[in-house]
Amino acid sequence: MSAGAQLVTDCGALFNQRQWQNAWSATSIESCLAETSLPVGNGHAVADGQRLRLISDSPFWTGYEADGDAPAIWSGNVAYLGTLYASTSPLNTLTIEQFTHVVAAALEQTRTWQAQALVIPGLERPDLVQVARAAQNALLMRLDVISRLQVPASIEDYLAGLSKSGRSGMRREHRRAQEAGVTFHRYRHDEEQLEAKIHRFADLTTQSATRHGIPALYDTASLLTMARTPMAALLTAESGGEVLAGTLAFVHDNVMVLWAAGVEQHGMEEHHAYTFLLHETIQSICGSAITVLDFGRGNVTFKQRRGFTATDQWTPVFVTAEDPRIESELVKMDTTIAQMLGQPA
């Protein structure tokens, strides 16, 4: 397996963990009507991450519809193999044979549920994308780009890898944040202050969504549920005890995923809180067992300027409803988002 494919597999393994999957199943931000776990075949036990969910409404999908200037595409329920809320698909951990087996089982259950489509978000491994591209009746959509960093040994090594302007900008904004009294904090899943901080963080995620013209992707209860998993930590930039910027991070083996983020507008403009938070986060893991920092999807230009490498994410959609309008609208949506994303990474 190539280094790039291994990196994707490592990130997919985080979302393949039972504790992450169970926590997500306990949230309410997506309207989940039913859920089942699918075997990967070949005598393997049920794979923790290969969960099929019947969803009546997903704010994340609604956000993609907004990106694609599309109307509400679904008039009924949709089956998701995984969830759009996993930064990358757990399916990226499977062999081609296992992937093919799981998708076939998912399609069968999708039809049993009489769902309008099977959606498989977050595919990245080139071999799996190729299989999906060749699949009969599948529309392969490029909905997003994810950004990752190979974590260097020190913060100075990280800064040295940036462009001259990127390096000076990062240092300048970090220094100004420090001079303004901004401090870095980490709240683990069992800390007393976590709940109060999550309430503030949830407000910031909603503010960020509003600025980007998309629906709120998270609610307080769901964020708190996810933050209470042992693999989670809320990382914040604060001034006088007030959270100016934050990210909910998950760690598994050698991977840290910055899963959800929120920032206050004045905190970003006046205190450079978001850049400060990123700098402190990277500095905190340099030289540790964490070798991959996954910065999530979107905001690609900002992340590339800070040394992150972009990778395309593909979403096969199998339309099972007999409604030609659906596929037509999906094609238009895919074309619009592709124009927004630019050339494939």
Question: Domain ranges in the chain?
Answer: 3-144+312-341, 152-290
Taking CB atoms within 8 Å and a gap of at least 24, the contacts of 156-165 are: 157/286, 158/282, 158/286, 158/307, 161/307, 162/305, 162/306, 162/307, 163/305
In the structure encoding, which two tokens stand for residue 97, read together?
Answer: 């044979």
Beta strands 183-188 and 31-39: pairing type? unpaired
d(CA 178, CA 114): 56
The pLDDT value given to residue 180: 94
Using CB atoms within 10 A of its CB, is residue 241 exposed (0-12), middle (13-18) or buried (19+)?
exposed
Give yes or no for a contact between 82 and 91, defined as CB atoms under 8 angstroms apart. Answer: yes
Axis crossing angle, helix 18-25 with helix 3-15, rounded to the nearest 10: 50
The pLDDT value given to residue 65: 95
* Backbone torsions φ then ψ of 309, nearest 5 degrees: -100, 135
Give yes or no for a contact between 149 and 295, defined as CB atoms under 8 angstroms apart. Answer: yes
The pLDDT value given to residue 267: 59
CATH superfamily of 152-290: Gcn5-related N-acetyltransferase (GNAT) (3.40.630.30)
Per-residue pLDDT 10s for the chain (345 aa) are 666 778 888 899 999 999 999 999 999 999 999 999 998 765 444 445 589 999 999 999 999 999 999 999 999 999 999 999 999 999 999 999 999 999 999 999 999 999 999 999 999 999 999 999 999 899 999 999 999 999 999 999 999 999 999 999 999 999 999 999 999 999 999 899 999 999 999 999 998 777 777 778 999 999 999 999 999 999 999 999 999 999 999 999 999 999 999 998 875 677 899 999 999 999 999 999 999 999 999 889 999 999 999 999 999 999 999 999 999 999 999 999 999 998 776
In the structure encoding, which two tokens stand for residue 193, read together?
Answer: 């202050």
Give yes or no for a contact between 21 and 48, defined as CB atoms under 8 angstroms apart. Answer: yes
* DSSP secondary structure, 106-163, as one string: HHHHHHHTT-SEEE---B--HHHHHHHHHSTTEEEEEEEEEEEEE--SSHHHHHHTS-
Q: Residue for token digits 């983020």?
A: 261
pTM: 0.93
The pLDDT value given to residue 46: 44
d(CA 309, CA 179): 30
* Backbone torsions φ then ψ of 112, nearest 5 degrees: -60, -40
CA distances from 302 to 166, 169, 305, 342 (A): 10, 12, 5, 15
Give the count of beta carbons closer than 10 Å to the beta carbon of residue 95.
13
The pLDDT value given to residue 45: 45
Q: Residue for token digits 């595919």?
A: 123
The pLDDT value given to residue 290: 97
In the structure encoding, which two tokens stand for residue 14, read together?
Answer: 């985080």
Give the count of beta carbons closer than 10 Å to the beta carbon of residue 291.
16
Give yes or no for a contact between 161 and 152, defined as CB atoms under 8 angstroms apart. Answer: yes
* Backbone torsions φ then ψ of 217, nearest 5 degrees: -90, -15
